[in-house]
Amino acid sequence: MIKTALITGASRGLGAALALALCDTHHIIAVAKTTGALEELDDLIQAKGGSATLAPMDVTNADAMATLCRGIYDRWTTLDMWLHTAVHAAPLTPTSHIDTKDLAKSITGNITATATLISYVAPLLGKTGQAVFFDDPRAGQQFFGSYGATKAAQIALARSWQSETVTTGPKVHIVTPEPMPTATRARFYPGENRATLNDPQTQAVKILASL
What is the DSSP track for the chain?
--EEEEEET-SSHHHHHHHHHHTTTEEEEEEES-HHHHHHHHHHHHHTT--EEEEE--TT-HHHHHHHHHHHHHHHSS-SEEEE-----PPPB-GGG--HHHHHHHIIIIIIHHHHHHHHHHHHHTTT-EEEEE----TTSTTBHHHHHHHHHHHHHHHHHHHHTTTTS-EEEEE-PPP---HHHHHH-TTS-GGGSPPHHHHHHHHHHH-
Q: What is the reported pTM?
A: 0.96
Are 211 and 170 spatial neighbours (Cβ–Cβ below 8 Å)?
no
Instruction: Classify residue 74 as left (phi > 0), alpha (psi -120 to 50) or beta.
Output: alpha
For residue 170, pLDDT beyond 90:
yes
For residue 174, pLDDT beyond 90:
yes
* pLDDT tens, position by position, 37-74: 999 999 999 999 999 999 999 999 999 999 999 999 99
- Structural domains in the chain plus CATH codes: 3-210 (3.40.50.720)
pLDDT of residue 1: 75
